[in-house]
């Protein structure tokens, strides 16, 4: 009996000794950073503690919460529950504290947006030396999830500050250019839109070149007598001002009734579209129009053009005077309103 008591006492002592060996010193989590998928889920977090502890989110959250967030000395665990992420990557911190000790665990959930991007339709834009308020559309699927920030870089530090008043509204970047009459032909700047989430950076930029001169040229062909909707090539460094320039058009038909009009809604910085009425007469006719623009500093640009239209063929003459326009690509009608 005595031998049995001694043996039992030894086993109990060994058992207590082994149990104490599993109680760690200090307070720490198994890992300090967890990367989670974008789907909803639950992630266990092991806690090694030499004291009683509790776990709390560093800040309130609508997409995550802690379950079983407390324990005593030894090896413990809690569960981090999170919802599906349909936006950009996001982050929360868990604070584990107890016995005057503290540890931090960072949870980063992956972005739920497919192919996140910021993209300009153009990577290079030309502008004239006139002061103007300009706009460039861009595409992004990050709007509403992160703050979009803008910046300007100037390759030549001595020519800086001429891009100003930058703002973003409804996926359009607005900015103002100062006038330029410098000795160098062109000055350049890079405008960037950037955004960041919990794990990545996103950005897009384009280069704007400003010339000391301003030009807006339209290649005007001779128009066939039947008229139609005629596209004319545009060469300009004022493309971002095209809408304002087109709206300034002034016609001169002399003593004739108006027989041409600009289709502004179809015209762009690379083409101007005009509707030309059929020439009912046996004489070639012509008209002129002027385009202009005045910037905020009073600098003025203008350019004038002449449209010539072939005469109608007399009976028996045929239509040999249609060689420039009548190639089957234009719509011929006598409608005046478009």
Q: In the structure encoding, which two tokens stand for residue 60, read together?
A: 């309130």
Residues 314 and 226 in one domain: yes
CATH number for the domain harbouring residue 316: 2.60.40
**Number of domains composing the chain:** 3
Together in a domain, 317 and 223? yes
Residue 285: inside a domain: yes
**CATH number for the domain harbouring residue 103:** 2.60.40.10
Q: What percent of the chain has pLDDT over 70?
A: 87
pLDDT tens-digit readout, 87-134: 999 999 999 999 999 999 999 999 999 999 999 998 999 898 889 889
**Cα Rg of the chain (Å, integer):** 37
> pLDDT, tens digit, for every residue of 268-300?
999 999 999 999 999 999 999 999 999 888 888
What is the per-residue pLDDT across 141-197, written as a single tens digit (0 to 9) for each?
998 899 999 999 999 888 899 999 999 999 999 999 999 887 777 899 999 999 999
Integer angstrom CA distances of residue 309 from 267, 283, 290: 20, 9, 18
Select from 90, 109, 128 the last residue of a domain.
109
Last residue of a domain, one of 211, 235, 258: 211
Same domain, 198 and 171: yes
Whether residue 114 contacts residue 106, with contact meaning beta carbons closer than 8 Å, is answered with: no
The last residue of one of the domains, among 211, 239, 257, is: 211
Domain that holds residue 235: 216-322
Does an H or E element contain 6, and which? Answer: helix 2-21
**Pair 177, 240 in one domain:** no
- The pTM assigned to this predicted structure is 0.67
CA distance 286 to 307: 5
């Amino acid at each position: 009996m005595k031998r049995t008591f001694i043996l039992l006492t030894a086993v109990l002592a060994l058992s207590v000794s082994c149990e104490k060996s599993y109680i760690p010193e200090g307070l720490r989590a198994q890992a300090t950073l967890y990367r989670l998928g974008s789907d909803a889920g639950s992630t266990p977090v092991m806690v090694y503690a030499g004291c009683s502890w509790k776990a709390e989110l560093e800040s309130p959250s609508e997409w995550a919460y802690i379950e079983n967030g407390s324990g005593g000395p030894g090896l413990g665990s809690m569960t981090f529950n999170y919802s599906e992420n349909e936006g950009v990557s996001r982050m929360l911190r868990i604070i584990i504290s107890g016995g005057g000790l503290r540890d931090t665990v960072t949870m980063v959930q992956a972005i739920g947006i497919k192919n996140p991007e910021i993209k300009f339709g153009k990577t290079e834009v030309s502008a004239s030396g006139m002061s103007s308020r300009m706009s460039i559309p861009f595409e992004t699927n990050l709007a509403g999830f992160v703050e979009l920030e803008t910046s300007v870089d100037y390759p030549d530090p001595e020519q800086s500050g001429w891009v100003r008043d930058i703002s973003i509204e409804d996926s359009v970047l607005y900015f103002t250019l100062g006038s330029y009459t410098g000795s160098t032909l062109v000055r350049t700047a890079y405008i960037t839109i950037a955004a960041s989430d919990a794990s990545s950076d996103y950005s897009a930029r384009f280069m704007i070149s400003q010339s000391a001169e301003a030009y807006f040229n339209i290649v005007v062909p001779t128009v066939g007598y039947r008229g139609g909707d005629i596209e004319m090539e545009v060469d300009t460094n004022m493309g971002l001002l095209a809408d304002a320039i087109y709206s300034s058009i002034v016609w001169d038909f002399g003593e004739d009734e108006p027989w041409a009009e600009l289709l502004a809604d179809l015209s762009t910085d690379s083409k101007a579209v005009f509707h030309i009425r059929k020439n009912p007469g046996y004489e070639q006719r012509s008209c002129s129009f002027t385009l202009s623009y005045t910037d905020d500093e009073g600098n003025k640009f203008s350019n004038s053009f002449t449209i010539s239209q072939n005469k109608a063929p007399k009976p028996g003459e045929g239509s040999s005077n249609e060689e420039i326009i009548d190639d089957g690509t234009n719509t011929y009608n006598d409608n005046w309103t478009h």
